[in-house]
Structure 1
């Protein structure tokens, strides 16, 4: 059984990515703050596509609802907005993981490190959770952006598991 003191030193699996990893498990606020214009465009496109598809289907195969299409279009707009947000969040997370081009995120991360500012979600001293529970939160949220179709899950916990390079975990191999 491991002790609480050894948990922050656990290794984070390193993946071969085409771009440098900025954060292996980015905090929700950090991901949303780094949305680009293309992410907002993708979100807007999904928001518009869902009710447009409902309207087109109604034109080609009418159901003639008694109250009209208003409520169905409002619901489909909301669902399109939710799906668009999850898609934009996933795109932004891919940049933090190094799966997509991430020069802007690298520059912002380096500027924060040079200024001595910890990015959101990376300061475990701000968390009310024990180190063990921080580890549980990390294990639940790591790569959860790949499972949005099953269960939308975000990292909302400040924890120390944010390896951005192999050197971040250099002391962890002796602890395991």
Structure 2
């Protein structure tokens, strides 16, 4: 077939290319780490206080149901209590998880203090550079579909109370200059080489 692309409009119809429009950048108090972090990184970078909050929310919702039943009985019978408390626990568990992911994601975006996460990110990415691994994982998607995935989940944490959405896709569009990782890896490799040479000479 010629250079004419097969598009959704039919065979032989040239595919029009849309101009690239960069994503909106937030003005934040702290440096950006990742504008669309993978859900695995979000959970892995969460702080102990986030997990404590998750547990507290999980326990608070059924406790609230218990207090309501204590001071304002529904008189539904004891048989209704087990499913009611199972539902309350599930609601608390889900709400706590959403709170954890929101707190962690806001640090990635630079909305909250994120020195710990910046150090973790630099260490993780530099180690990947040294091993020759892709920074953000391997993706079988085209650049176009990676962009679609990014636009679906980027900044979704600000709308999580209405429609929870997370990034489950490895893509290459994270809003940061990755050159810093390669520069740091180069500095570390040079330092390691200097140390090794000095040890051999000694």
Q: TM-score, normalised by structure 2?
A: 0.72
Q: Is 1:85 paired with 2:97?
A: yes
Runs of at least 5 residues in structure 2 that lack an aligned partner in the other structure: 1-15, 181-202
Cα gap change, 1:113 to 1:25, in 2 (>3 Å): same
Which of 80, 92, 95 is residue 107 of structure 2 equivalent to? 95
Match of 2:57 in 1: 46
Match of 1:2 in 2: 17
Q: Is 1:13 paired with 2:24?
A: yes
Cα gap change, 1:95 to 1:21, in 2 (>3 Å): same
Match of 1:122 in 2: 136
Cα gap change, 1:13 to 1:119, in 2 (>3 Å): farther
Q: Matches of 1:83 and 1:99 in 2, distance apart?
A: 21
Match of 1:32 in 2: 43
Q: Matches of 1:35 and 1:77 in 2, distance apart?
A: 22
Contact preservation (8 Å) 2:156, 2:164: yes
Match of 1:107 in 2: 119
Match of 1:158 in 2: 170
- What is the Cα-based RMSD across aligned positions, in Å? 2.5
SS at 1:69 equivalent: helix
Higher relative contact order (CA 8 A, sep 6+): 1
Cα gap change, 1:119 to 1:110, in 2 (>3 Å): farther
Match of 2:152 in 1: 140
Cα gap change, 1:97 to 1:165, in 2 (>3 Å): farther
Q: Matches of 1:142 and 1:2 in 2, distance apart?
A: 22
Cα gap change, 1:140 to 1:151, in 2 (>3 Å): same
